[in-house]
Each structure stands twice: as structure tokens, then as C-alpha cells.
Amino acid sequence: MDTRTHRVISPGRVNLIGDHTDYTGGYVLPVATDLHTQLAASPADEVTVYSEATDDRRSFAVDDEQPSGDWTDYVKGCYAVLREEGYAPGGFDGDLSGTLPLGSGLSSSASLELAVVAFLNDAYSLGLSRERMARLSQRVENDFVGVSCGIMDQFAVALGQSGHALHLDTGSLEYDPIPIPDDVRLVVYHTGVERGLVDTAYNERRETVEGALDALGAEASTQLSEADIEDAGSLSELQRQRLGYVVRENERVLRVGEALSGGDLETVGSLLTAAHADIAANYDASCRELDFVVDQAVERGAYGARLTGAGWGGAAVALVDAADAEAFARSLHERYCEQFPDHESRYHLVTPSDGVRVQRRS
Ligand code: ADP
Ligand code: MG
């Protein structure tokens, strides 16, 4: 029998549209997933945590800030960041399980961070808002684990809403839930290409567009139009190309939000597919596997599809009718496996769900 005092359900996230916009203060449109991490836990003096995914039980003191170079850093980092902010939660004894795959572009890392922070928030009455938990979890990843990600993942995991995507302005952190019709699913297709060179390419893109924003004196990409960029003599050709994509992507996020609210799935789909073409041509963030998935998805009747996440491998997302989603994914998978028999590809059907939630056993 499970005698733990708490059960935390922490979703993953998939970004429907708006990639490489979050480090420019741009727009994103993530969805919290029904695929989730579960943490069953009770307060304790130390931290003892078992993960089913890694089949590993680990113990450490709550003030152990020595990075281990493995998954426990996502847990240690929560304590380190909370302590920096003046909180002193105790330990816990817990089991991690759930349905969210690790490293499949569904942000299991943010899911794990929020599961731990939300548990500590409840068990030790820290009084943190969801937004604050999202920001602190981002710092766990940036400062302790050493992954430079934007706020999108943690924000979606903390504030997602069932049946909705979250329109988020990553500059102001203003957000707006956008309804997603019940009768569509998001199919997340992981190409099996692990993004080996991603850090270098990601940092390069980031430098280019951050430099371009500086040259234009803009704080956020949302302040700019395409005309501003075309007319700017201070930008290099490459800066114009990269920032041009970002500005058009912001515009598409807004238009997808409007089309979703109006139930116009055809328009949503064509914007997704256009976004893929743009990120491939002007941000050089695609690869032949992602292009193949997008082409095949559209051919198989998806409303639209695009790479999701940083690109250069990883996953694509397709918007499809719920009734056909399973058959669609299976047929896409068959075709992909024929084309790339050596790739360990996989797919997941996603239903938009609520953000992290804590159940307490009294
Ligand atoms: P993603 O966030 O897209 O799934 P990342 O590489 O950012 O991929 O994060 C995956 C890492 O997060 C895993 O390698 C592991 O270290 C950690 N992680 C996430 N969920 C769990 C879990 N349930 N158990 C153990 N480690 C986990
Ligand atoms: Mg991650």
C-alpha cells in the first residue's frame, strides 16, 4: 500500500509554435501534456528518491550542493535555488514514476523540477505561486544543471490548462490560455536523432539575434516588424535573415492563437507548416529527418506539422483529428522506419492538460 502523504502529477510540454523566440522576449504557444511525471512522497529529514526511469535510488542531505552530473542534479538544484531565495524546506522520501518519456522533446526535465518544487511548496508551506515556481525551476536548469533554456518549459508545466495551449509573451510573462478543440490531438514524433551539435548551433543563433536586437536598440523581438529589419542598415545579412525568421514566427504565434480560438484548424495547420519551412530555410535549424516527418505528416492528412524544440533533430509536432490520430501516427512511423531504419524513433499522442498538481492524503 502506498503510504506517502503526497502525490504530485507534473505534466510535460510540447510547443505548438514559437521556437527560438523565447530568448528574444518573443511569443510561444506551449501545451502541457497528459503524459506526466508522478512523484509520490512524504516529508523526511534527508532526501531519498527512487526513479523508475533510471532504476536508481539515491540519498543525499538537503544542503548537499555538490553536483553529481546525473539526474539527481535536477533535485539537488531545487534545494540550492530555494535556499538562495531564503527558503529552507526539509527532505523527502519519494518515488518518481509516470508516463512521460525522458529526452523525447517533451521536457521531462522541467516536469521533474516542478514535481519537486510543487511538493516542497505544499509539504513545507513555502507559499510560492505557480509563476514563481516556474521561474525558480528555470533557474535550477540554468544555474545548477547548466542548461541554458528559456522560461517556456517550466511555465507550461506550472501553468498549463486542460484543453488549452498557453499563449505566453516571454518578455513580459503575460499569458493567455487559448482553447484547443477536443477533437484534435498533437502527435509528437521523435526522429531518434539526438541533437549532438545542438549547443554550439543554439548558442550561435542566440548570439546572432541578440546582437541584432542590440544593434536595433530593441528589448524584445515583439517590438519589431519585418519592415524594421529590412530597412536596418546596421544589420548584417545573416542577422537580417535570422531575426526576420523570429519576427515572422512571433506573428504566426499570434495568428495561430486567433485561428485556434475561432476553431479554424485549416489555418492553424498551414501556419504550422509554413513555420517549419521558414525555420528550415532561414534559421537552418532543421535536418532531413525532421523535413521528412513534416512532409509525410502533411501527406497523411495532418492539418499541419513543424519541428518543435530547438531543432537539428529531436521532435516534430503534427496537428491531427483525434479520431485518426493513432492510425496516422502508426502509418507515419512505418514510413519513417523504412526511410531511416537505424534511427530509434518513437511517437506520442498528446492531449492538452492541466499544469502541475499536488494531491495530499490527509
Ligand atoms: P527533456 O527535458 O526533453 O526530456 P532533457 O535532456 O532536458 O530532455 O532532460 C532529460 C533528463 O532529465 C534525463 O536525462 C534525466 O537526467 C532527467 N529526468 C527527467 N525525468 C526524470 C525521471 N523521472 N527520473 C530521473 N531523471 C529524470
Ligand atoms: Mg529538458
Distances (CA, A) of 328 to 127, 288, 346: 44, 20, 13
53 pLDDT more than 70? yes
Contacts of 79 (CB under 8 A, 6+ apart): 47, 62, 63, 64, 65, 89
Give the ligand with the smallest distance to the CA of 103: 1
362 pLDDT more than 90? no
Question: Residue 169 and residue 250: Cα distance in Å, rounded?
Answer: 10
Question: Residue 200 and residue 265: Cα distance in Å, rounded?
Answer: 36
Mutate which of 96, 102, 188 for ligand 1 pocket (most atoms within 8 A of beta carbon): 102
Active site residues per annotation: 153
Question: Residue 98 and residue 93: Cα distance in Å, rounded?
Answer: 17
- Looking at the structure, tell me whether residues 197 and 104 fall in a common domain: no
What is residue 197's predicted lDDT score, i.e. its pLDDT? 54
> Would 289 be classed as within a structural domain?
yes
What is residue 196's predicted lDDT score, i.e. its pLDDT? 61
Nearest CA to 186 out of 319, 40, 36, 338 is that of 319
- Looking at the structure, tell me whether residues 157 and 187 fall in a common domain: no
What is residue 235's predicted lDDT score, i.e. its pLDDT? 95
What is residue 161's predicted lDDT score, i.e. its pLDDT? 98
The residue nearest atom 15 of ligand 1, judged by CA position, is: 71
Question: Residue 55 and residue 106: Cα distance in Å, rounded?
Answer: 20
Is the shortest distance between the CB of 312 and ligand 1 below 6 Å?
no
User: How many distinct structural domains can be found in the chain?
Assistant: 2
Is the shortest distance between the CB of 274 and ligand 1 below 6 Å?
no
CA of residue 263 to ligand 1 center, whole Å? 34
Query: Three-class SS of residue 288?
Result: helix
Query: Three-class SS of residue 281?
Result: helix
The cell for 187 is 502527435
CA trace torsion 59, 64, 66, 68 (10° rounding): 20
Atom number, ligand 1, closest to the C-alpha of residue 97? 23
The residue nearest atom 11 of ligand 1, judged by CA position, is: 109
The percentage of the chain sitting over the pLDDT mark of 70, rounded to a whole number, equals 99
2 pLDDT more than 90? no
Domain range for 12 is 6-177+353-360
- 230-261, pLDDT tens digit by residue? 888 899 999 999 999 999 999 999 999 999 99
- Looking at the structure, tell me whether residues 133 and 242 fall in a common domain: no
> Would 1 be classed as within a structural domain?
no
CA of residue 152 to ligand 2 center, whole Å? 11
What is residue 198's predicted lDDT score, i.e. its pLDDT? 65
Question: Residue 29 and residue 165: Cα distance in Å, rounded?
Answer: 6
Q: What is the enclosing helix (H) or strand (E) of 122?
A: helix 108-123
12 pLDDT more than 60? yes
> Would 252 be classed as within a structural domain?
yes
169 pLDDT more than 80? yes
CA of residue 56 to ligand 1 center, whole Å? 13
What is residue 63's predicted lDDT score, i.e. its pLDDT? 96
> Would 53 be classed as within a structural domain?
yes
- Looking at the structure, tell me whether residues 33 and 98 fall in a common domain: yes
What is residue 102's predicted lDDT score, i.e. its pLDDT? 92
- 81-103, pLDDT tens digit by residue? 999 999 999 999 999 999 999 98
What is residue 199's predicted lDDT score, i.e. its pLDDT? 74
Is the shortest distance between the CB of 349 and ligand 1 below 6 Å?
no
Atom number, ligand 1, closest to the C-alpha of residue 73? 16
- 102-159, pLDDT tens digit by residue? 988 899 999 999 999 999 999 999 999 999 999 999 999 999 998 888 899 999 999 9
Distances (CA, A) of 176 to 144, 160, 355: 30, 10, 14
Whose grid coordinates read 502509418?
Answer: 331
Q: How many CB atoms neighbour CB 164 within 10 A?
A: 18
- Looking at the structure, tell me whether residues 104 and 202 fall in a common domain: no
- Looking at the structure, tell me whether residues 94 and 131 fall in a common domain: yes
CA of residue 141 to ligand 2 center, whole Å? 8
- Looking at the structure, tell me whether residues 145 and 289 fall in a common domain: no
- Looking at the structure, tell me whether residues 145 and 203 fall in a common domain: no
CA of residue 168 to ligand 1 center, whole Å? 24
65 pLDDT more than 70? yes
pTM score: 0.95
Q: Which CATH number does the domain housing residue 318 bear?
A: 3.30.70.890
Confidence of residue 306 (pLDDT cuts 50, 70, 90): very high
The residue nearest atom 16 of ligand 1, judged by CA position, is: 71
CA of residue 241 to ligand 2 center, whole Å? 27
- Looking at the structure, tell me whether residues 192 and 334 fall in a common domain: yes
What is residue 1's predicted lDDT score, i.e. its pLDDT? 61
The residue nearest atom 24 of ligand 1, judged by CA position, is: 51
Is the shortest distance between the CB of 109 and ligand 1 below 6 Å?
yes
Average pLDDT over residues 319-338: 98
What is residue 120's predicted lDDT score, i.e. its pLDDT? 98
Query: Three-class SS of residue 177?
Result: strand
Is the shortest distance between the CB of 137 and ligand 1 below 6 Å?
no
> Would 265 be classed as within a structural domain?
yes
Is the shortest distance between the CB of 345 and ligand 1 below 6 Å?
no
ipTM (interface pTM): 0.99
Give the ligand with the smallest distance to the CA of 145: 1
Is the shortest distance between the CB of 108 and ligand 1 below 6 Å?
yes
- Looking at the structure, tell me whether residues 330 and 215 fall in a common domain: yes
333 pLDDT more than 90? yes
What is residue 302's predicted lDDT score, i.e. its pLDDT? 98
Atom number, ligand 1, closest to the C-alpha of residue 101? 4
- 173-221, pLDDT tens digit by residue? 999 999 999 999 999 999 999 866 567 899 899 999 999 999 999 999 9
- Looking at the structure, tell me whether residues 138 and 234 fall in a common domain: no
Q: Which CATH number does the domain housing residue 155 bear?
A: 3.30.230.10
Query: Helix/strand/coil (H, E, C) string of 304-346?
Result: EEEEECCCCCCEEEEEEEHHHHHHHHHHHHHHHHHHCCCCCCE
What is residue 104's predicted lDDT score, i.e. its pLDDT? 86
- Looking at the structure, tell me whether residues 173 and 184 fall in a common domain: no
Average pLDDT over residues 319-325: 97
**What's the mean pLDDT when you consider all of the chain?**
96
